[in-house]
Amino acid sequence: MPSQLRRVETPLVPPDSMREILVNALIHRDYSIAGGAVSLAIFDDRVEVWSTGRFPNGITPEALKRDHLSVLRNPIIADVFHRAGLIEKWGRGTNRVAEMCAAAGIAPPEFTEVTGGAVVTFRVPVAGVESTGEVTGEVAGEVGRLLTALAGATLSRKALQDALKLRHEDHFRKAYLVPALEAGLVEITIPDKPNSRLQKYRLTGAGRALLARAGVR
């Protein structure tokens, strides 16, 4: 605040996004596994939330990065959290987290399964590592160029590759397209048929928010 001398600290991971992930971990944990727990691990470049049990049936790490149905493993626990106002709308939590991270200038969280447990990883910029504007960490460089090419557009793979002036499809997929999809910044328009010849790509809400912070319209 201008009226005070004390420095105001801004957490690298938005507190509301961390709260959302911790609440989700408690709601969806597999309580049938004895000795399980929800744990938090903090490192220099990332924060990890671990929860005992795999993701609920029908939910994959990739699905959590786009609109998806809510599969309640523990409906009574979920209802308690919902009545307490700790969750707003079932099935939207991970999307809101991605949007909050984009607004804070960090990459959306990564969702993985490790040795039977669900893991959510927040990557944060490391001191001394340069960034390009507000597009930081894993969304700089090639992915940043791809996002800019998709600003306000929905393009096929070939059209997107042409817009980036890239000749080799394999390089385009490995260095540009796949990282953007895995980060939840780009989505396909026909999710039920990922290999469709009519497939196109567009920015997700997180991708649009990230570009907006970088001043790209």
pLDDT at 11 over 50: yes
* Range in 19-23, 24-28, 42-46, 151-155 the model is least confident about: 42-46
SS3 139: helix
pLDDT tier, 62 (very low <50, low <70, confident <90, very high otherwise)? confident
pLDDT category of residue 49 using cuts at 50, 70 and 90: very high
Q: Which residue has the higher pLDDT, 18 or 135?
A: 18
Q: What is the pLDDT of residue 198?
A: 94
pLDDT higher at 85 or 53: 53
Strands ordered across the beta sheet of 46-52? 38-42, 46-52, 117-123, 110-114
Residue 215 has pLDDT above 70, yes or no: no
Q: What is the DSSP letter of 149?
A: H
Is pLDDT at 7 greater than 70 in this prediction? no
Mean pLDDT (the chain, rounded): 80
- DSSP per-residue string spanning 165-210: T---HHHHIIIIIHHHHHTTSEEES-TT-TT-TT-EEEE-HHHHHH
Residue 208: name the closest of 138, 108, 120 by CA. Answer: 108
Q: Per-residue pLDDT averaged across 163-172, rounded? A: 88
Q: What is the pLDDT of residue 93?
A: 76
Summarised one tens digit per residue, pLDDT across range 175-209 is 889 888 888 889 999 988 888 999 999 998 888 88
140 compared with 14, residue with greater pLDDT = 14
Q: φ, ψ for residue 134 (rounded to 5)?
A: -95, 0
- The gap from C-alpha 96 to its chain's centroid, in whole angstroms, comes to 9
Residue with tokens 């042409």: 162
Nearest partner of 122 among 21, 210, 4, judged by Cα: 21
Name the more confident of 138 and 157: 157
Domains of the chain as residue ranges with CATH:
15-123 (3.30.565.60), 137-211 (1.10.10.10)
pLDDT at 90: 62
Cα–Cα distances in angstroms (integers) from residue 176 to residues 139, 142, 182, in the given order: 10, 5, 10
Cα–Cα distance for residue pair 209/97, rounded to 1 Å:
12
Report the C-alpha gap between 196 and 51 in whole angstroms.
Answer: 35
Q: Is the dihedral of CA 122, 128, 131, 134 positive or negative?
A: positive
